[in-house]
Amino acid sequence: MNKVHLSNEFALVLQQVDEAGGEDFVTLADTLQVERSRLVHIVTSLRNKGLVVLSQSSPTEMWIRVTTKGRRLTHYIWPESTSLHAS
């Protein structure tokens, strides 16, 4: 696996989105109790690394999903999360 450097905060955002199967931006900020401006920075960085994709689900809602690369990284960091998706 190519090296991807993530802080704990970035990794937790990636894990939350992966476990949820995707998440809207506002709900993600509320769930993680992260300032929205900070979350914009984190999600933009994760997108630039190819770990998440963004799509506009409505004029006021942004949906975040983990890419295959992001899912592989999440399962590498937290192997136990693989079994969560199997259930």
What is the predicted pLDDT for the residue at 34?
95
pTM: 0.85
E strand segments, 1-87: 23-24, 52-58, 61-66
* Tokens 């993530």 found at: 6
What residue has token string 């937290």? 78
Q: What is the pLDDT along the chain (87 residues), one digit of tens a residue?
A: 567 788 999 999 999 999 999 999 999 999 999 999 999 999 999 999 999 999 997 888 899 999 999 999 998 888 776 544 544
CATH of 8-81, one of 1.10.3720.10, 3.40.50.300, 3.40.640.10, 1.10.10.10: 1.10.10.10
CA distance linking residue 72 with residue 80, whole number of Å: 12
What does the pLDDT read at residue 2?
63
Provide the pLDDT for residue 87: 41
